[in-house]
């Protein structure tokens, strides 16, 4: 390679590569522009031309091996978008800004249709609920489903099965208030004598087959059991249900969930009920790693009652929030043109000082 060729090759490279090449060869190379950098590199290479050439080659190869970054769709600044959005509403059938949605946005009438009470029908458990209960017969189970999907059904059914086998069940919740609610609810289901509650200093029916407590209380019981002071019938313990397990990530109390799970007796099954979280598989893998029996994950993201999102303007005008009636998962930009227009209007009227 002669100097001329080398120069041309260098000029073809992106500046970032040239800077990497210049590292150690040229001092303060970040100050020079591309042209200057190439000149400096050529000057510096006078002593050790092969070194430069081979380094250049490695860097080019490295670049080629790296996957090309996917060209990111450029998002327009909000001002630009707002200018575009206004005419968009006058021509409702226009393709939207991003061009991959050709259907007209949902109308308010359509969006509001279908409100009502479903006809009473015999309760049929969802597929995931059946699966969770079946899995629980053999393994520990982590359930991660959206709020309101019917986790309580799984808890009640699993409890009933354990009780039939004369096994004790412990149900933990993060808040005392929730413990109380569950105490009332389960007492209704299983009969008052069958459900006990343990709080800091009070015990009601502490010999009942189903015990409700906060996670801290269970942790303390496990401490005492490990310290030799058996306080609870841990040997007959058949099932531990931990509600709201996403509290594992609570900055102050999360550690209590971890301790409880680490020290939970191995003969007891674990049922972890959690709202939707991003990494439920991690929790299942962790439990599989630390407990004698494997742990199954039951996860689904579909809500049992479909959800629609709307936008209510301060002047009481209601519109759908998204172009589609349901939530367009993964596509936050599919805003309904009317909602978009109204929100921009709101932002403009409530003052530019707090524009983002």
Partner 1 sequence: MPPSIHPVDLVATLRQRNLTPAIIFLTSRRACDEAMQSFERSQVTLPKTQQEQIARVLTQVTEQFPSIAEHPLIETVQRIGVAAHHAGHLPSWKIAVEELMRTGSLDAVFATTTLAAGVDFPARTVVVTQSSIRKARDFTDLTASEIQQLAGRAGRRGKDLVGFAVITPSPYIDLTVLTKGLTGQPEAIHSQFVISYPMVLNLLKAHPREQIQSILAKSFAQFQLNQRTAVLETKLDSLRAEMEPFGPRVCSDWITQWQVFEQARKRKKPRSPFTRQESPDVAARLHFLTPGRVVGVTRGRGIILRQYRSKGQHAPMVTLLREGGSLNECPASIVTQVFDRTFDCEETSTYPWCTPQALEQLTHHLTDLPPRLPILPILAHQHEETPIDSSIIQTLGDFPCPTCPSRQACQRDFPRASRVRQEIQRHIKSIQALQTSLWHRFQERIDVLEKFGYLHANAQLTADGEWARLIRIDHSLLITELIRAEAFGAIDPPLLAAVMASIAHDDDRPGSFPRGSAGLVTLLFQVRKLAESLTPHEAPPMLRADVAALTERWVSDQTLTWIGLARLTTMAEGDMFRLFARTIEFLSQLKTLKATHPSLAESADHAITAMRRGVLEELP
As measured in angstroms, the least distance from the Cβ of 177 to partner 1 is: 6
Tokens of 75: 């998002």
Q: Which is nearer to partner 1, 16 or 137 (CB)?
A: 16
- Neighbouring CB atoms inside 10 A of 246's CB total 18
SS3 85: helix
**What sign does the CA torsion over 122, 125, 127, 133 have?**
negative
Please state the φ and ψ torsions of residue 346, each to the nearest 5 degrees. -60, -45
Q: Which is nearer to partner 1, 147 or 166 (CB)?
A: 147
- Whether residue 334 contacts residue 322, with contact meaning beta carbons closer than 8 Å, is answered with yes
Q: Which is nearer to partner 1, 5 or 316 (CB)?
A: 316
As measured in angstroms, the least distance from the Cβ of 157 to partner 1 is: 16
Residues 6+ apart with CB under 8 A from 146: 275, 276, 301, 302, 303
As measured in angstroms, the least distance from the Cβ of 131 to partner 1 is: 18
As measured in angstroms, the least distance from the Cβ of 166 to partner 1 is: 25
The secondary structure of 154-190 as a DSSP string is: HHHHHHHHHHHTT-EEEEEESSHHHHHHHHHHHHHHH
Tokens of 339: 């909602």
As measured in angstroms, the least distance from the Cβ of 158 to partner 1 is: 19
Q: Which is nearer to partner 1, 146 or 294 (CB)?
A: 146
Q: Which is nearer to partner 1, 220 or 296 (CB)?
A: 220
Q: Which is nearer to partner 1, 42 or 275 (CB)?
A: 275
| 331 DSSP 8-state letter | -
As measured in angstroms, the least distance from the Cβ of 169 to partner 1 is: 18
Q: Determine the angle formed by the axes of helices 215-226 and 254-263, rounding to 10 degrees.
A: 40
Q: Which is nearer to partner 1, 96 or 167 (CB)?
A: 96
Cα–Cα distance for residue pair 35/28, rounded to 1 Å: 15
- Whether residue 62 contacts residue 16, with contact meaning beta carbons closer than 8 Å, is answered with no
As measured in angstroms, the least distance from the Cβ of 93 to partner 1 is: 23
């Amino acid at each position: 390679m002669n100097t001329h060729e080398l120069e041309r090759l260098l000029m073809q490279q992106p500046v970032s590569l040239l800077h990497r090449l210049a590292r150690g060869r040229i001092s303060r190379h970040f100050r020079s522009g591309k042209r200057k950098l190439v000149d400096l590199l050529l000057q510096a290479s006078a002593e050790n031309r092969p070194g430069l050439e081979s380094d250049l080659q490695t860097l080019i190869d490295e670049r080629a091996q790296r996957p090309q970054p996917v060209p990111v769709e450029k998002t327009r600044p909000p001002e630009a978008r707002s200018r575009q959005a206004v005419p968009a509403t006058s021509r409702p059938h226009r393709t939207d800004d991003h061009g991959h949605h050709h259907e007209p946005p949902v109308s308010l009438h359509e969006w509001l249709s279908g409100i009502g009470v479903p006809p009473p029908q015999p309760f049929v458990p969802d597929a995931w609920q059946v699966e969770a209960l079946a899995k629980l017969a053999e393994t520990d189970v982590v359930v991660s489903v959206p709020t309101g999907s019917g986790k309580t059904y799984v808890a009640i059914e699993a409890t009933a099965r354990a009780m039939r086998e004369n096994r004790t069940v412990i149900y933990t919740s993060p808040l005392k208030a929730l413990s109380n609610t569950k105490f009332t609810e389960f007492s209704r289901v299983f009969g008052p004598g069958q459900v006990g509650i343990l709080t800091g200093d009070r015990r009601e029916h502490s010999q009942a087959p189903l015990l409700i407590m906060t996670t801290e209380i269970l942790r303390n019981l496990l401490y005492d059991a490990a310290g030799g002071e058996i306080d609870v019938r841990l040997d007959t313990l058949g099932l531990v249900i931990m509600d709201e397990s996403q509290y594992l990530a609570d900055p102050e109390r999360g550690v209590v969930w971890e301790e409880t799970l680490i020290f939970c007796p191995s003969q007891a099954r674990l049922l972890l009920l959690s709202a939707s979280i991003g990494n439920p598989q991690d929790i299942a893998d962790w439990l599989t790693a630390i407990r004698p029996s494997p742990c199954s994950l039951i996860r689904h993201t579909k809500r049992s009652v479909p959800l629609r999102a709307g936008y209510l303007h301060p002047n009481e005008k209601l519109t759908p929030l998204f172009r589609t009636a349901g939530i367009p998962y993964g596509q936050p930009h599919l805003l309904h043109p009317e909602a978009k227009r109204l929100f921009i209007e709101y932002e403009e009227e409530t003052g530019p000082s707090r524009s983002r």
